[in-house]
Amino acid sequence: MKRPLRRELMFQLVETSRLLRTYVEQRARQHGTTRAQWGVMSRLRRQEGLNQAALAEQMDLQPISLARLLDRLQSQDLIERREDPADRRAYRLFLTPEGRELVDDLDAVRTEIAHEVLGGVDEAAIFSALETLSAIREQTRNRSEDKASASAGNAA
């Protein structure tokens, strides 16, 4: 029995995401890091000086999970925590020179991965997929916000 088209797309998205995460994890390990650590360092390169709470929110991670990642990155001398002058309870996060070098090197890996998994896909199909994914992301975001609002309203 053939699945309805929309259900098949959802299945393929979830399965492809899982496979891609696994593949990126394997490639990250070849460079002495993990996919999660790579993500943290990439985010910090774009927004150095974030505090842990803001970074956890942006990355959709629990603060304790992020703290463990940051501890590992700091012990490897890839990031540093600096006291926040505006809040003595908080720390601002920065890449060390070694961390910046690693995340810059990983950019080449990111490019390799893109060429490996999208090499045979033409630009028009990629553009169409990007538009579709953007629409799905927006619909999902709207639905999540609607559900959160409804839950908050029911709790009151």
Residue 152 lies inside a defined structural domain of this protein = no
CA-to-CA dists, residue 20 to 13, 17, 65, 131, angstroms: 10, 5, 22, 19
CATH number of the domain at 7, please: 1.10.10.10
Cα separation, 67 vs 150, in Å, equals 31
Q: How many domains does the chain have?
A: 1
The whole-model pTM stands at 0.78
- Taking only the tens place, the pLDDT of each residue in 101-119 is 999 999 999 999 999 999 9
- Taking only the tens place, the pLDDT of each residue in 63-114 is 899 999 999 999 999 999 999 888 888 899 999 999 999 999 999 999 999 9
Domain hosting 65: range is 1-110
